[in-house]
Amino acid sequence: MSLLENEAVRSFVTWGTVCVVKMLAMGPLTARQRFKTMVFANPEDNPGSKKHDAPAVSENVERVRRCHLNDLENIPAFLALGAMLLVTNPSATIAIWHFRIFAVSRLLHTVCYLNGIQPFRALCYMVGTSVNLSMAGQILYCIFAN
Amino acid sequence: MSLLENEAVRSFVTWGTVCVVKMLAMGPLTARQRFKTMVFANPEDNPGSKKHDAPAVSENVERVRRCHLNDLENIPAFLALGAMLLVTNPSATIAIWHFRIFAVSRLLHTVCYLNGIQPFRALCYMVGTSVNLSMAGQILYCIFAN
Amino acid sequence: MSLLENEAVRSFVTWGTVCVVKMLAMGPLTARQRFKTMVFANPEDNPGSKKHDAPAVSENVERVRRCHLNDLENIPAFLALGAMLLVTNPSATIAIWHFRIFAVSRLLHTVCYLNGIQPFRALCYMVGTSVNLSMAGQILYCIFAN
């Protein structure tokens, strides 16, 4: 259990897990909208439909899917950058605040996306991306300044 | 070669690599369906098409792409959770069975998706997601119980 | 700073960060095309639109999104395989050249995709995927040969 004694690693593992679980939750949320609207992506998913119907599109389903895709664009990037930041042996306080702010911004992003709350959704996206870019900058600075 | 002497790390690296290769295989599988149906996403991909045609959609192509997207939603999450689980120094037996069951469930998921086999595809998805959530639960338990 | 003293780890962290930043840049590039063409995915994103309009589709936006999706299919796979390759304690020279070639192939892939340059885009994709598969082969060889 030696790595977890490092406060920054502990924070990364905690918030990283929270972000991944949040991302995984989008799958069942999509399925819930599919059953609510009875709009399915594959003919075999809906026993009531005729086999060769072109799949219809539901705006309620697509909204959850776009939110999920936005997670896929940002959360794996965070996990990679966070782990690489830890390799550079950063200040624990700075690292921990990066992890916290990112995780909270992504949780709020989902709430804002699913409820169509703008411009706060864009703001949450920008905060998350800024945290990612700040970590990238620190990693590259550490590499090239040493 | 010290890390690979740990049985759980060795299992993670093996099954993680298998999952990534499976995910990478979806790209060429998509290309194969595109050439079979001559439906391309970009005008420059198909020298025979008129430049500004709206791209047509082929159900055979879209099925492979949906399967690929499902991998993107689940396999990077597995890789992150598996690595973080190893940081918590888990029981090797429990960790290894998580990795095995996840990898097999995702291989079967692809077979079921490409051949439209329901409800087994949904079952494979649920098994994979359950493994991911079980790892997340163990990680957070380890963090907060110590 | 012990891990960064390993030349291969240092190279992985550098090129991995470059790839992630490149991937993150696709988000703002998509937004730029959305504002240029005034085509938005959500009704609340465009104050000038009527609330329940079906979202239109712009080929310029979709091109950036397809390029972004291609990154999501390949760059997280690279980060996972690269990290697992390092666990197998590879030859530093071989590892470093894998990381360099992958990163350069993905940078060129984006340039080719956004400008519709074929067959160089397909070539860049194949080089990147070959690097990924080569790393996967070396990882599995190391596991099963020991």
> Looking at residue C132, which CATH number applies to its domain?
1.20.120.550
Q: Does the pLDDT value for residue C51 go beyond 70?
A: no
Identify residues of A whose CB sits under 8 angstroms from chain B CBs. 1, 3-4, 9-10, 13-14, 16-17, 20-21, 23-24, 26-28, 41-45, 68, 72, 76, 79, 83
Rounded distance between C-alpha atoms, residue A6 and residue C1, angstroms: 14
Rounded distance between C-alpha atoms, residue A109 and residue A86, angstroms: 25
Distance, first Cα to last Cα, chain A: 29
Give the pLDDT mean for A8-32: 95
Rounded distance between C-alpha atoms, residue A46 and residue C4, angstroms: 53
Q: Predicted confidence band at A87 (pLDDT cuts at 50, 70, 90)?
A: very high
Q: Is C26 helix (H, G, I), strand (E, B) or coil?
A: helix
Hey, of C6, C12, C13, C68, which one would you mutate to test binding to chain A, going by the most A CBs within 10 A of its CB? C13
Chain A residues inside the 8 Å CB shell of B63:
42
Written as six digits, the tokens of A96 are 């921990």
Residue of B nearest to A12 (CA): B84
Q: Do B87 and A13 make contact, defined as CB atoms within 8 angstroms?
A: yes
Rounded distance between C-alpha atoms, residue B64 and residue C35, angstroms: 31
| pLDDT at residue number B58 | 87
Q: How far is B83 from chain C (nearest CA, A)?
A: 10
Rounded distance between C-alpha atoms, residue B130 and residue C85, angstroms: 27
Distance, first Cα to last Cα, chain B: 29
Distance, first Cα to last Cα, chain C: 29
Instruction: List helix spans (H) across C1-146.
Output: 7-37, 59-87, 92-114, 120-145
Q: How far is B102 from chain C (nearest CA, A)?
A: 16
Q: Is C146 helix (H, G, I), strand (E, B) or coil?
A: coil
Single pTM value for the model: 0.94
Radius of gyration over alpha carbons of chain B, in Å? 19
Chain C residues inside the 8 Å CB shell of A63:
42
Amino acid at position B106, single letter: R
Kindly give the confidence (pLDDT) of every residue in chain B, 146 residues in length, as a single tens digit, with 9 standing for 90 and above.
578 999 999 999 999 999 999 999 999 999 999 988 888 888 888 766 554 455 678 899 999 999 999 999 999 999 999 999 999 999 999 999 999 999 999 999 999 999 999 899 999 999 999 999 999 999 999 999 87
Size of interface A-B (CB pairs under 8 A): 67
Which domain does A110 fall in, by range?
A: 3-145
Taking alpha carbons only, the member of C23, C6, C24, C18 closest to residue C96 is: C6
Q: Would you call the peptide bond into C119 cis, given omega within 30 degrees of 0 as the criterion?
A: yes
Q: Does the pLDDT value for residue A13 go beyond 90?
A: yes
Q: Would you call the peptide bond into A119 cis, given omega within 30 degrees of 0 as the criterion?
A: yes
Q: Predicted confidence band at A53 (pLDDT cuts at 50, 70, 90)?
A: low
Written as six digits, the tokens of B93 are 């037996």
Give the pLDDT mean for A132-141: 97
Q: Number of helices (H) and strands (E), helices first, in chain A? A: 4, 0
Q: Predicted confidence band at A2 (pLDDT cuts at 50, 70, 90)?
A: confident
Amino acid at position B111, single letter: V
Cα angle, residue C29 at apex, residues C27 and C35 outer, rounded to 5°: 105
Q: How far is B40 from chain C (nearest CA, A)?
A: 12
Interface partners of chain C (CB pairs < 8 Å, 3 or more) are A, B
Q: Do B79 and C80 make contact, defined as CB atoms within 8 angstroms?
A: yes
Q: How far is B4 from chain C (nearest CA, A)?
A: 7
Rounded distance between C-alpha atoms, residue B40 and residue B35, angstroms: 8
Q: Predicted confidence band at A146 (pLDDT cuts at 50, 70, 90)?
A: confident
Q: Do B77 and A42 make contact, defined as CB atoms within 8 angstroms?
A: no
| pLDDT at residue number B146 | 76
Tally of structural domains, chain C: 1
| Phi, psi torsion values for B35, nearest 5 degrees | -75, -35
Are C79 and C19 contacting, i.e. CB atoms less than 8 angstroms apart?
yes
Residue of B nearest to C69 (CA): B69
